[in-house]
Amino acid sequence: MTTFVDRVELHVAAGNGGHGCASVHREKFKPLGGPDGGNGGRGGDVILVVDQSVTTLLEYHHSPHRKATNGKPGEGGNRAGKDGQDLVLTVPDGTVILDKQGNVLADLVGQGTTYVAAQGGRGGLGNAALSSARRKAPGFALLGEPGDLQDIVLELKTVADVALVGYPSAGKSSLISVLSAAKPKIADYPFTTLVPNLGVVTAGSTVYTIADVPGLIPGASQGRGLGLEFLRHVERCSVLVHVLDTATLESDRDPITDLDVIEEELKQYGGLEDRPRIVVLNKIDIPDGQDLADMIRPDLEERGYRVFEVSAVARTGLKELSFALAEIIAAARAAKPKEEATRIVIRPKAVDDAGFTVTYDENEDVYRVRGEKPERWVRQTDFNNDEAVGYLADRLNRLGVEDALMKAGARAGDGVAIGSDENSVVFDWEPSMVAGAEMLGRRGEDHRLEAPRPATQRRRDRQAERDDAQREFDEFEAF
């Protein structure tokens, strides 16, 4: 059974905002006491939070679909709906968040670091909030906005100071077991280690973490073996330790060649050229191993490597190695810039006087309006309520959509689509709509919407012509 997962695809859905309420206050001797519909509650967010006690993404591997709660609708008596509860998902330290295209959205490092993966929808306004001197008793309320839907990828990159790299069965697991209190699986066959192991080492006053990365083989950077799965775990390390087997039983291998192969794989993976390297010649407790270590050590030192001869079984050479690593790590920590408290940076959006664009779509024969405000207003509108649709027309008119349509060449009766190609609302445009309650009849009605819709009929006729042409073509092909 899988116990360690370091990459998952997560489908998150924020909560929808609650609908506003359309209500009129009623009491004895006061049948029309004015609007008192409350606002809908905000939908819950989906928030990722770093928790250092979490070490794997296994939970999201089994349950990849997560959703926050919706906001409650408003009620009469000016009672606002309850906000939806935020869904907080804990992730390990060092989790990177990417979109489906591989772009990095956030890099979560440090206890308590948060990222809002999906934002909840805003609640709709009730008719009490929509009332004004000109619209004293609105017979409608705004709908709540839907919450965000996001498909994200979580990748775990282990936060460790030292990474042990090398061929399978080079003795990495044995080494980490004697340097720290970690107890990884140890056996005499390749690929014993299937997941990265972490251990804590204390050398004098320096305490650091060491990671045992599963064995690399030629072609690991292209996906062979387990290397590609776990090479990401060495990216955050301050020092790389090459563990070389001086007592290998394979006749076609030797420590120098193993080192060159692993270095080539690290080069192909990229981003690790600046990390200091240390070479550990392991298994010197075996006579042939000590002889081979004595032969190759001058060559390694000539290349500029610091070389340590150790035996995980006999526990020799471990103290010198641990203090050498502590020295490098202490220097790396001192070179890092001093951490400061997170500063809140406000980046307002660029000012756009229009806030929308109007373009003509020749394929659909409509004028398409795109913009944050118009599209949000459409999502908030209850199209089963004529007065709500009239209120939308008034808002669009005040925003300047009507003037923009005139400049784009639109005429009365032309089709206007608000929103994207896949999800838009199409209506027939009637210019010079005048806002105001004097235009309205009974609550919930707007007589401006009773006019015929010539553009709709034109689109239907055009579609019928296309269907007839396609039918004739199909009959010709069949003949």
pLDDT higher than threshold 90 for residue 88:
yes
The pLDDT tens digits of the residues spanning 210-253 come to: 888 765 655 544 444 444 456 777 777 888 888 888 877 666 67
Q: Between β-strands 7-13 and 65-67, what pairing exists: parallel, antiparallel or unpaired? A: parallel
| Residue, of 187 and 280, whose pLDDT is higher | 280
DSSP assignment of 274-328: TS-EEEEEE-TTSHHHHHHHHHHHHHHHHTT-EEEE-BTTTTBSHHHHHHHHHHH
Q: Write down the pLDDT at residue 234.
A: 79
Q: What is the mean pLDDT of residues 427-440?
A: 58
Nearest to 91 by CA among 151, 157, 184: 157
Q: Which two tokens stand for residue 438?
A: 């004097």
pLDDT higher than threshold 60 for residue 169:
yes
Question: Average model confidence (pLDDT) for the chain?
Answer: 80
Who's near 361: CB < 8 A, 6+ residues apart?
Answer: 367, 368, 417, 421
Q: Write down the pLDDT at residue 219.
A: 52
Q: Please answer whether residues 234 and 213 qualify as being in contact, where contact means their C-beta atoms are separated by less than 8 angstroms.
A: yes
The pLDDT tens digits of the residues spanning 369-391 come to: 888 889 899 999 998 888 888 88
Say how far apart CA 256 and CA 83 lie, in whole Å: 63
**b vs e for 284-305, b when ≥16 Cβ sit within 10 Å of the residue's Cβ?**
bebeebbebbeebbeebeeeeb
The pLDDT tens digits of the residues spanning 438-468 come to: 444 555 565 555 555 566 666 667 777 778 8
Q: Specify which residues 88 forms β-bridges with.
A: 47
Torsion of CA 259, 264, 266, 269, to 10 degrees: -160
Say how far apart CA 11 and CA 105 lie, in whole Å: 15
Say how far apart CA 220 and CA 130 lie, in whole Å: 63
Q: Write down the pLDDT at residue 469.
A: 80
AA identity, residue 219: G
**What's 198's DSSP letter?**
E
Residue with tokens 């784009």: 408
Q: How many CB atoms lie within 10 A of CB 327?
A: 14
Angle at 40 between CA 36 and CA 46, to 5 degrees: 165
The pLDDT tens digits of the residues spanning 336-370 come to: 776 555 555 666 665 554 578 888 888 878 888 88
Q: Write down the pLDDT at residue 54.
A: 83
Q: Write down the pLDDT at residue 457.
A: 65
Q: Please answer whether residues 376 and 423 qualify as being in contact, where contact means their C-beta atoms are separated by less than 8 angstroms.
A: no
**What's 364's DSSP letter?**
T
pLDDT over 90 percentage in the chain: 18
**What's 149's DSSP letter?**
E
Q: Write down the pLDDT at residue 451.
A: 55
Q: Write down the pLDDT at residue 122.
A: 93
The pLDDT tens digits of the residues spanning 105-136 come to: 888 888 888 999 999 999 999 999 998 888 88
Q: Write down the pLDDT at residue 3.
A: 54
Sign of the C-alpha dihedral computed for residues 362, 365, 366 and 367 taken in this order: positive
Sign of the C-alpha dihedral computed for residues 127, 130, 134 and 140 taken in this order: negative
Sign of the C-alpha dihedral computed for residues 211, 217, 221 and 225 taken in this order: negative
Least confident among 8-22, 221-235, 282-296: 221-235
pLDDT higher than threshold 60 for residue 62:
yes
Give the three-class secondary structure for 231. Answer: helix
Q: Specify which residues 446 forms β-bridges with.
A: 440
Q: What is the mean pLDDT of residues 21-37?
A: 84
| Residue, of 321 and 436, whose pLDDT is higher | 321
pLDDT category at 180 given cuts 50, 70, 90 is confident
Run of H or E including 476: helix 454-478
| Residue, of 69 and 335, whose pLDDT is higher | 69
pLDDT category at 312 given cuts 50, 70, 90 is confident
pLDDT category at 432 given cuts 50, 70, 90 is low
Give the three-class secondary structure for 367. Answer: strand
Q: Which long-range contacts (CB under 8 A, 24 or more apart) does 51-54 make?
A: 51/90, 51/91, 51/92, 51/93, 51/111, 52/92, 52/93, 52/111, 54/90, 54/91, 54/92
- pTM listed for this prediction: 0.70
pLDDT higher than threshold 60 for residue 258:
yes
Say how far apart CA 147 and CA 175 lie, in whole Å: 50
DSSP assignment of 375-414: HHHHHH--TT-HHHHHHHHHHHHHHTHHHHHHHTT--TT-
Nearest to 324 by CA among 468, 476, 140, 162: 162
Torsion of CA 30, 31, 35, 40, to 10 degrees: 110
Say how far apart CA 291 and CA 389 lie, in whole Å: 88
